Chain A
Amino acid sequence: MGTSEWFKVRGWNIERLLFALHRITGWGLTAFIVLHVLFVHQVTYGERAWNSLLSLDSTFLGRVVLLLVVVALIFHGLNGVRIMLIEFGYLLTEPKEQEYPYQVWLKNRRHRGYVLFMGILGIFLTIVAGVILL
C-alpha cells in the first residue's frame, strides 16, 4: 500500500484506520524523540538555557502538545501490542472459506475485545496524563 492510500477514506474499516494511525503516530514520535533529545541536552548548558526552553513547555499550548505526544505514545504502544498478538496468532480467526462480501476484520471476539480494551485503557490513560500535565 502506497503512502497516499493511507488517506483514502473509501473502503476504510477500523483495522485500516488503526494501521494508518500506527504509521502516522510512529513518524510523529520519531520526530519528537529527536527534538526531545536536543531539548534535554540544553541542561548541560546551565540553568538559564534550560529555563528559557522550559518556559515554552510551561505554556498552555506547550502542555497540550506534550499531551498529544503522550496520547500518540499510548495509542502506538497499545496498537503495537495488538499487532504482536495478531502476529503470534492470539487474535486471529479460525481459518475458513471466505464468502463475498469479505468482512473478516475483527471477526474474532478476542480481537474485538482487545480493541475495546485498547479504547477504554487509552481514554483512561489520556485522562490521567491530562490531569498530570494540564
Chain B
Amino acid sequence: MRESTLRELTYLSGLAILLLVIIHLVKLSVGGFTVNTSFSQVALSLKDPAYSVTLILLLAFILTHSSLGIRRTLLDSGKSNLTVKAVLGILGVVFLIILVLGILTVW
C-alpha cells in the first residue's frame, strides 16, 4: 500500500475515533460515572445493539490507528523493514485477539 494511502487511513481512522470516543464518553458521563459503570448498567448498555456496534467499530478503528502509529514510530526510529514487519506481525496477532475479546464481550 502506498505511504500516502496509509497516512490517509491514519487520519480517517483518527477522525472516526474522535467521533465514536465522544459518544462513548458522553454515554459514560451522563447520569454519573459511578452509576454507569455498575454491573447492571454495563450489562444493560451492552444489550443495546446500536451501542455495541459503536463500541466494536471504535475498537476496530483504534487498533487500526494504533498499528499505523506504531509502524510510523518504528520507521522513524530507523528500524529495518524486516524488524517493522516482524513487530507488526506479532502486534497483528495480539490486536486480533483483543478485537475478538471485544466482540465476545458485547455479543
A in complex with B: yes
A3 near B98: Cβ-Cβ < 8 Å: no
B29 — which chain A residues lie within 8 A by C-beta? 132
A41 near B104: Cβ-Cβ < 8 Å: yes
B18 near A77: Cβ-Cβ < 8 Å: yes
A84 near B14: Cβ-Cβ < 8 Å: yes
Mostly, the B contact residues are: helix
> Assuming the A-B contacts A40-B105, A44-B105, A84-B14, are A3 and B73 also in contact, with contact meaning beta carbons closer than 8 angstroms in the complex?
yes
With CB as the reference atom, state the residue of chain B lying closest to A77. B18
> Assuming the A-B contacts A37-B101, A44-B105, A54-B37, are A23 and B73 also in contact, with contact meaning beta carbons closer than 8 angstroms in the complex?
yes
Tell me, yes or no, whether A99 is within 8 Å of chain B by CB: no
A3 near B46: Cβ-Cβ < 8 Å: no
Mostly, the A contact residues are: helix
B34 — which chain A residues lie within 8 A by C-beta? 58
Provide the bound-state CA to CA distance between A132 and B6, in Å: 36
Q: How many residues of B are in contact with the other chain, CB < 8 A?
A: 33
Could you tell me which A residues sit within 8 Å of B by CB distance?
1-3, 23, 26-27, 29-30, 33-34, 37-38, 40-41, 43-44, 47, 50-51, 54, 57-58, 70, 73, 77, 80-81, 84, 87, 132-133
Provide the bound-state CA to CA distance between A69 and B77, in Å: 25
B43 — which chain A residues lie within 8 A by C-beta? 43
> Assuming the A-B contacts A2-B77, A80-B14, are A41 and B101 also in contact, with contact meaning beta carbons closer than 8 angstroms in the complex?
yes
A50 near B14: Cβ-Cβ < 8 Å: no
Task: Output the least CB separation between A29 and chain B (Å).
Answer: 8
Tell me, yes or no, whether B42 is within 8 Å of chain A by CB: yes
